[in-house]
């Protein structure tokens, strides 16, 4: 049994969440952990609402379910099945496809796909923990001619900027972002959001990084003859990401969502907080992500 994640075993999960009611209670406790605040008028007094765990504002009578205004908002899934999807996505080393989820949970594949997209939204980086120490940055193409298996059927080649935090011979963290062009502006924004100012940053010397020295005071430029030679950890990380992507997904549509999913699990494997609990917390604290927002 692989002990990669500090997480609930399936047995513990089932004992803690035996039914919809326990899941709803868990969400309500998280959502109103710091007290109630009406999301219509801001009042902080309430009485019980129509259903168990609903709350109704005692000033404006606005009723609110624990799920309202969160990533669980208007989900048609029974809440227990939604919890199972989150559980599998959090604790399965390489993730799980919507097809497999639909088989395991007796749900339509489309339903699983849509909810999975919402969970992937919750996996998006909080940008609260920028990378420190030794950091390598580079861009890579995903899809198109370089990536036959992905690009054959649909979607075009996309550019992704990737940064890894090195630790010994390995990588402790990784972030990635789909960018329109490898312009200085796009690279700078990504680096500012994910890399600490004091980090020792290495780039491949691509012109897009010129002028970023002042932003990151300790960049070491390395002449690269062959890609992958100077930045073995970075390029291995990129290769592994691409291999994973080919395994689960066959186009570059929704690439950012898949980057979020992959790096979320990778970056969390040494964290103390349980990955499942963290993911549920994020689901509750983030605003709704609708079908319309997803397909755009």
Which residues are near Zn ion by CB under 5 A? 38, 40-41, 43, 57, 59-60, 62
Of 9 and 61, CB closest to Zn ion: 61
Of 67 and 191, CB closest to Zn ion: 67
Cβ within 8 Å of residue 95, ≥6 positions away: 89, 244, 248, 261, 262, 265
Nearest distance from residue 37's CB to Zn ion, in Å?
9
Of 49 and 205, CB closest to Zn ion: 49
Return d(Cα 97, Cα 100) in angstroms, integer: 5
Return d(Cα 250, Cα 101) in angstroms, integer: 17
Nearest distance from residue 70's CB to Zn ion, in Å?
18
Nearest distance from residue 30's CB to Zn ion, in Å?
21
Of 47 and 271, CB closest to Zn ion: 47
Of 44 and 273, CB closest to Zn ion: 44
Of 61 and 92, CB closest to Zn ion: 61
Nearest distance from residue 59's CB to Zn ion, in Å?
5
Residue in 294, 286, 278 with CA at minimum distance from that of residue 70: 286
Nearest distance from residue 43's CB to Zn ion, in Å?
4
Nearest distance from residue 60's CB to Zn ion, in Å?
3
Nearest distance from residue 87's CB to Zn ion, in Å?
34
Of 41 and 295, CB closest to Zn ion: 41
Q: Residue 88, exposed/middle/buried by CB under 10 A (0-12, 13-18, 19+)?
A: buried
């Amino acid at each position: 049994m692989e002990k990669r994640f500090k997480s609930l075993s399936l047995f513990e999960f089932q004992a803690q969440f035996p039914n919809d009611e326990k899941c709803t209670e868990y969400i309500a406790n998280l959502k109103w952990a710091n007290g109630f605040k009406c999301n219509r008028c801001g009042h902080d007094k309430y009485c019980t609402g129509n259903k168990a765990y609903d709350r109704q504002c005692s000033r404006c009578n606005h009723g609110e379910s624990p799920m309202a205004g969160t990533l669980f908002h208007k989900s048609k899934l029974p809440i227990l099945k939604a919890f199972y999807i989150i559980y599998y996505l959090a604790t399965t080393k390489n993730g799980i496809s919507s097809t497999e989820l639909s088989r395991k949970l007796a749900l339509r594949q489309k339903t699983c796909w849509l909810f999975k997209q919402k969970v992937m939204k919750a996996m998006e980086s909080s940008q609260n923990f920028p990378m420190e120490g030794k950091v390598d940055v580079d861009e890579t193409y995903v899809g198109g001619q370089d990536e036959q298996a992905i690009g054959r059927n649909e979607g075009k080649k996309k550019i992704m900027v990737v940064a890894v935090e090195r630790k010994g011979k390995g990588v402790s963290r990784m972030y990635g972002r789909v960018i329109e062009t490898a312009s200085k502006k796009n690279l700078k924004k990504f680096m500012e959001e994910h890399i600490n100012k004091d980090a020792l940053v290495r780039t491949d010397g691509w012109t897009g990084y010129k002028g970023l020295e002042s932003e990151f005071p300790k960049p070491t430029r390395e002449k690269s003859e062959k890609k992958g030679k100077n930045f073995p950890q970075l390029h291995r990380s990129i290769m592994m990401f691409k291999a994973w992507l080919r395994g689960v997904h066959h186009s570059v549509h929704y690439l950012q969502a898949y980057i979020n999913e992959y790096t979320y699990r990778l970056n969390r494997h040494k964290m103390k907080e349980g990955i499942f609990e963290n993911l549920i917390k994020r689901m509750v604290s983030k605003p709704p992500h609708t079908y319309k927002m997803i397909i755009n």
